[in-house]
Structure 1
């Protein structure tokens, strides 16, 4: 597995879940795609940092929720 140490997420489109909002005061995570990497951050505090995943790890994560 290749480890990505730094990824430039400047200029990428951060997306929130279509299910965000409601009673969470707008709190949600955001996700962005940059090449073979996926970044996940807190929408209310994006300066706190970004969790970084390889695209294949992200796909595995998403598949684990599907029946």
Structure 2
């Protein structure tokens, strides 16, 4: 697990601040994700290859 205090978390530019969003932070080995409304909640860590497949799948459905 990584130390979330040292990560540069960011939200999607599509976030309007009214709905639940996910924040992500780059890691050397992948990406960490957490609930933007509960920043003290545990983060999920995804390997870089898995995150890439996820992002491509989302963009294909748009």
**Scaled by the length of structure 1, what TM-score is found?**
0.75
Aligned residues: 60
Q: Which structure 1 residue ranges, 4+ long, deviate > 4 Å from structure 2?
A: none
What runs of 5+ residues in structure 1 fail to find an aligned partner? 1-5
Match of 1:7 in 2: 2
CA RMSD between the two structures: 1.6
Separation in 2 of the partners of 1:16 and 1:31? 7
**Scaled by the length of structure 2, what TM-score is found?**
0.80
What is the Cα deviation at residue 66 of structure 1? 2.6
